[in-house]
Structure 1
Amino acid sequence: NEGTRRGGASGFTLDSLTKMVNTKGTDKKTSVLDYVVKSLYDKDEEYILLVLEDLNLVEETAKLSGNEIIKEFASIRAALDSLQQVYEFNQNKTSDAVFNSPTAKKMIDAFSTRLEHYLSTFQGQMNECEKNKTILSRKIDDIIKYFGEDSKSCDTSKIFGTLQEFLRAVAFS
Structure 2
Amino acid sequence: MKKILYLVNTLNEGTIRGNALGFKLDILLKLEDTRPSNSKMTLMHYLCKVLASKTPPLLEFHKDLISLEAASKIQLKSLAEEMQSIVKELETVKEELDALENDDPLSELTTLKEFVGTAETEMTSLTNLYSIAGKNADALVVYLGEDPAKCPFEQGNSLIMHEVTATLLSFVRMFQKAHEENCEQAEMENANGKNLTK
TM-score (norm 2): 0.67
What is the alpha-carbon root mean square deviation over aligned residues? 2.7
What secondary structure sits across from 1:171 in the alignment? helix
- Select the residue among 93, 110, 121 that pairs with 1:83: 93
CA deviations on 1:55-88 (whole Å, 9 max, x unpaired) are 1211121121222222222221221111111112
What secondary structure sits across from 1:120 in the alignment? helix
Query: 1:71–1:29: structure 2 CA closer, same or farther, 3 Å change rule?
Result: farther
What secondary structure sits across from 1:22 in the alignment? coil
- Select the residue among 126, 129, 143 that pairs with 1:129: 126
Query: 1:6–1:88: structure 2 CA closer, same or farther, 3 Å change rule?
Result: same
User: Is contact 1:13-1:148 (8 Å) kept?
Assistant: no
CA deviations on 1:16-59 (whole Å, 9 max, x unpaired) are 111122223223632221121112224x3222122111112111
CA deviations on 1:81-114 (whole Å, 9 max, x unpaired) are 111111122223338xxxxxxxxx8xxx34x332
User: Is contact 2:52-2:59 (8 Å) kept?
Assistant: no
Which residue does the alignment assign to 1:54?
64
What secondary structure sits across from 1:21 in the alignment? coil
User: Is contact 2:29-2:170 (8 Å) kept?
Assistant: yes
C-alpha distance in structure 1 between counterparts of 2:71 and 2:142, whole Å:
18
**Cα distance, 1:164 vs. partner?**
0.6
User: Is contact 1:67-1:155 (8 Å) kept?
Assistant: no
What secondary structure sits across from 2:32 in the alignment? helix
Which residue does the alignment assign to 1:158?
163
C-alpha distance in structure 1 between counterparts of 2:96 and 2:40, whole Å:
65
5+ residue gaps, structure 1, are 96-104
Which residue does the alignment assign to 2:30?
19
TM-score (norm 1): 0.76
The runs of 4+ residues in structure 1 deviating greater than 4 Å are: 5-9
The number of residues matched between the two structures is 156
Which residue does the alignment assign to 1:99?
none
User: Is contact 1:25-1:31 (8 Å) kept?
Assistant: yes
Which residue does the alignment assign to 2:83?
73
Which residue does the alignment assign to 2:114?
117
Query: 1:117–1:135: structure 2 CA closer, same or farther, 3 Å change rule?
Result: same
Alignment of 1:86-97 (within 5 A): 86-94=96-104
User: Is contact 1:66-1:140 (8 Å) kept?
Assistant: no
5+ residue gaps, structure 2, are 1-8, 10-15, 179-198
CA deviations on 1:146-166 (whole Å, 9 max, x unpaired) are 234573262422211111100
